Amino acid sequence: MARKKQTVLVAMSGGVDSSVVAGLLKRRGYDVVGVTMQIWQESQRDPRHSGCCSLGAVEDARRVARILDIPHYVINYKDTFRETVIENFIEEYAAGRTPNPCVQCNRKVKFEALLETMEELECDLLATGHYARIRSSKDGHHRLMRSAGGAKDQSYVLYMLQSEQLAKVMFPLGELGSKAETRAMAREMGLPVAEKPDSQEICFVSEAGGYREFLKKERPEMFSGGVLVDSSGAVVGEHAGVAGFTVGQRKGIGLTASSGRPLFVLKLEPGANRVVIGHEEELLQQEVVLDDVVWHREEVTEMAVDAKIRYNMPAQPATLVRNGTTKLVFKKPVRAVTPGQIAVAYRGQSVVAGGVIR
C-alpha cells in the first residue's frame, strides 16, 4: 500500500530562505501549502516596506507560490503580534531592559500560532527558513542543534522550542553550508527573490528615528529627562529618557569624560530615572543570571558549556549552574551583559538551555 504523502505548511516571509524551503520540499515530494503572516500595523506609514511579513513581503511570497504552483494563504495575525510582541517590546524598554522582538515573535507567533494554524489546515508538519537542525532519539525525544553551516546558524533565536514542538517542525536549510548556497538554489529554481537582501530592521518600526521614535510615539512618558550618574552614584550629566539607552552603548550619551576616555552605558535604572555610565572595563562581567529558562537537558545541575549572550557573539566557554537560580559562569568575563537579551548554552552542537538575562 502506497504511503500517504505528507502535507507541509511552509511559513513564507517573502524572503529567499523560506522561498527556497517551499521549492525544496515540493521537489522532495511533499504537498506544500504556503502561508504568510499578516502582522503589519495600521500605525506604520508604509506597510509595503516594513521588513518581513510586510505588504511587500506578501506580494513576493505570492509570486513565489505562483511559480512553484502551490496554494498560498495570507492569515491575519495582527492582533496576536501586537499583544505578544509589540506590547512586550514596549513594556521591556519601560522596565529598563533591552528585548529581542525576533525571539518573542518566534515564541508566540511563528511557532505557537503557526502550529495551531498547521493543525487547523490539517497539515502534518510546519517548515520555516531558519538555519538550524533537529535530531530525534530512539525514545522519541527531539532536540535542537546548530546548523551544519556554522556561519549561518539561528539556533540562538529558536532555543525556546521544546521536544513536542520540534516533532512537528522542519528546518530544511539546516544542512546547507551557507546563505550563498541558498541563493544559488533560488536562482536555479528561477525564484525572483534570489538576490533579495536580508531584513535587518525591527519589522514593526517604520519611523525614521528607529525604535526610539517608535517608543516616543507609543509611550512619551518614557522619555522624561533624568540624570546621568557614574558607578559611584555621583551625578555627572543629564539625559532625555532612560528608554533611549541600552547597556554597552557608547554613542549618544552626550558627555565626555574629563580623562578623555570613552564612556559607556553600564546600567539603566528607570525607577529612579537614572542612567549609570562608566568606562569599558566596568562592562565586563563573569556571571550571568537567567530567568524563564527553557531546558533541553532536565538532569543538569552543573555542566561545562559554550554560551553566548548575543546573536552575533561567538560562543564562549562557561559553566551552566542550576541551583535554585540558573546562571552562566564564563571562563573569561564577557562584555555588556544586557538585561532582557537572551543567553543560550550549547554542549557540542546541541542546545542545552536558554533564557532571558536578568
Catalytic residues: 105, 203
With b for 16 or more beta-carbon neighbours within 10 A and e for fewer, the 280-296 pattern comes to eeebeeeebbbeebbbb
Cβ proximity of 302 and 321 under 8 Å: yes
CA 119 to chain centre: 24
> Do residues 104 and 159 touch, judged by C-beta distance below 8 A?
no
Output the CA torsion 286→289→293→298 (10° steps).
70
Tell me the CA distances in angstroms from 133 to 183, 313, 338, 344, one per residue in order. Answer: 19, 20, 27, 16
Secondary structure element (H or E) that encloses residue 288, with its range: strand 284-295
Which residues sit opposite 267 in a β-bridge?
Answer: 276
Contact in structure between 296 and 143 (CB atoms under 8 Å)? yes
H or E, element range at 27:
helix 16-27
For the chain, what percentages of helix, strand and coil (3-state, to nearest 5) are there?
Answer: 30, 30, 40
Phi, psi (deg, nearest 5) at residue 245: -125, 160
In degrees, rounded to 5, the angle at the alpha carbon of residue 204 between the alpha carbons of residues 202 and 208 is 75
